[in-house]
Structure 1
């Protein structure tokens, strides 16, 4: 038997239950993973509460990221073998697979080799954040050396990854945070400038920092009416990329004539992870950054698997800077 986190109804962290279940052998195209660490994401809170883009089927597990060791491979799986240290890239629906457990089945297409110098906690903190930031900042070609990039909610794991990627390609990251308490930590993380939105006029500060030009790209997980404020800080011909929906209110399309001409779009990392060739490029890019030291995931705090509900409460409180990771002491599955 294995231990999996499941829930039977929508609700708060208290609905999460750690259960012993039968995992079984991997099917065609699957692997069974002995999990060593799990990366938590806000998408999992939204899924647990019923606010995500797909709804759970009960009893439901959850989770997009993990690191561990391959225990078994199913029919047709190539490039992976028992004993390989690996990490999990989010490329599946939580209605089909999940990573919250000590032994889990996953599609082989979502499992990538873990470099020997990357420990499980670090590996579990990588892929959601860095692939999410990679698409708009690195692969799209929209951001060039010397460009200013606005990164909102920058203390999140994605925000911190975006700061590092922007630096890596020679761009100038401008981070936002609501309160001044995170300003220095964002500067220490590599932000060239930090704007405290509860205290400063965002468009005015952007124009001051950029010499009146505005940013080349604004990278935003919040959405909602606030995108109109962001639009006033984007340079003519620049880009507004919305990759989340932390604000559940409707998100307006910036009105033509009210702002400099700009391009606005939504984005999710599934645009990368569902395309084998784009995923191959992303994995190569991120692994190269990890190997060189240019990319260093920030882990705010770790929890034990048994404390998964407390880990979700901590994430919901929005106090962290970086990734929350759950560490796992696995039990051997029964035959």
Structure 2
């Protein structure tokens, strides 16, 4: 038996329940793990609210990110053994697997041995945010030393991961946040410059920072009207990656900027990388190297115990965090 989190209707964090549930033996190509830590992410909140890309099937499980110790392996699993310390790369749907539990089964393709210098909390916090940023900035954007990358919602876990990855390859990360409240923390986290979009002129500030070189990549989970402003300062052939919709209004696209500068605007999601074996392997290698060297270091904002999972969700929805929210078991 294992304590697991389920919900039987969509809604606020109050719908989350912790119940006792039998855990089946791992099937073929599955690994069973005792969970030590969970990383929280916005997709889980959206799924609980009924606003995600898939509909919950009740009683619904959830959870993409975890780290712990292997307790059993299924048929055809050769790379892992009981006692291995492992963590999970999100590459499955909540309707198939959920990590919110004391003991869980995981598809073997999603399991990795993380660098030894990571704690379970850090390992659980790492893969989703770093691979999300890696996919846009490195796999598709080919970000290089000396280039400018604009990172919106920069105090989020993915935003901080993007800042670190940009620094790792010698690029220049420009953090965009709504107010000046988080400026000092973002500079300390590695941002070369911080712009408060509600207080400063985005176009004027970016033109002053980038000059004639312009912005090479925009990495944006927000959208909304400011998209048009950012496109004004993008370089020829630059890429705009939209990976969320925190602002639900339609994106405004200035057609002459698109045409004259040959800009690329594309939707992007983590699963483009994690469900493709070759891309997932490249992401794993890049992120593992960064974690092992210390160039990538997960920023953990706050930890909660498993029995306070609803409070952890409420804290995420308050939008006050700088970095990752982790739940320990």
Q: Same fold (TM over 0.5)?
A: yes
User: What corresponds to 1:331 in structure 2?
Assistant: none
User: What corresponds to 1:218 in structure 2?
Assistant: 218
Matched, 1:208 2:208: yes
User: What corresponds to 2:268 in structure 1?
Assistant: 267
Listed as ranges, the matches of 1:101-112 within 5 Å are: 101-112=101-112
Structure 1 Cα separation of the partners of residues 257 and 81 of structure 2: 56
Is the 1:29–1:77 Cα contact (8 Å) retained in structure 2?
A: yes
User: What corresponds to 1:332 in structure 2?
Assistant: none
Comparing both structures, which one devotes a greater share of its residues to helix?
2
- In the TM superposition, what is the alpha-carbon distance from 1:141 to its structure 2 partner? 5.0
User: What corresponds to 1:256 in structure 2?
Assistant: 255
User: What corresponds to 2:291 in structure 1?
Assistant: 290
Structure 2 Cα separation of the partners of residues 141 and 42 of structure 1: 23
Gaps of 5+ in 1: 329-335
Is the 1:114–1:123 Cα contact (8 Å) retained in structure 2?
A: yes
- In the TM superposition, what is the alpha-carbon distance from 1:244 to its structure 2 partner? 1.2
User: What corresponds to 2:4 in structure 1?
Assistant: 4
- In the TM superposition, what is the alpha-carbon distance from 1:236 to its structure 2 partner? 2.2
**Which secondary structure does the structure 1 equivalent of 2:97 belong to?**
coil
User: What corresponds to 2:312 in structure 1?
Assistant: 311
Matched, 1:194 2:162: no
Structure 1 Cα separation of the partners of residues 233 and 98 of structure 2: 39
Structure 2 Cα separation of the partners of residues 25 and 314 of structure 1: 34
Is the 1:138–1:169 Cα contact (8 Å) retained in structure 2?
A: no
**Which secondary structure does the structure 2 equivalent of 1:200 belong to?**
coil
User: What corresponds to 1:135 in structure 2?
Assistant: 135
User: What corresponds to 2:150 in structure 1?
Assistant: 150
- In the TM superposition, what is the alpha-carbon distance from 1:115 to its structure 2 partner? 1.9
Structure 2 Cα separation of the partners of residues 236 and 316 of structure 1: 37
- In the TM superposition, what is the alpha-carbon distance from 1:258 to its structure 2 partner? 4.5
- In the TM superposition, what is the alpha-carbon distance from 1:278 to its structure 2 partner? 1.3
Question: What is the CA RMSD across the aligned residues, in angstroms?
Answer: 1.2
- In the TM superposition, what is the alpha-carbon distance from 1:28 to its structure 2 partner? 1.1
| Cα gap change, 1:229 to 1:111, in 2 (>3 Å) | same
Is the 2:301–2:324 Cα contact (8 Å) retained in structure 1?
A: yes
User: What corresponds to 2:13 in structure 1?
Assistant: 13
**Which secondary structure does the structure 2 equivalent of 1:9 belong to?**
coil
Gaps of 5+ in 2: none
User: What corresponds to 2:93 in structure 1?
Assistant: 93
User: What corresponds to 1:333 in structure 2?
Assistant: none
Is the 2:141–2:239 Cα contact (8 Å) retained in structure 1?
A: no
**Which secondary structure does the structure 2 equivalent of 1:76 belong to?**
coil
- In the TM superposition, what is the alpha-carbon distance from 1:21 to its structure 2 partner? 0.5
Is the 1:222–1:246 Cα contact (8 Å) retained in structure 2?
A: yes
Runs of 4+ aligned structure 1 residues displaced above 6 Å come to none
What TM-score do the two structures reach when normalised by structure 2?
0.97
Listed as ranges, the matches of 1:234-245 within 5 Å are: 234-245=234-245
Structure 2 Cα separation of the partners of residues 193 and 244 of structure 1: 23
Instruction: Show CA shifts across 1:190-229 (max 9, x none).
Output: 0000000110011211111011432100000112333222
**Which secondary structure does the structure 1 equivalent of 2:81 belong to?**
coil
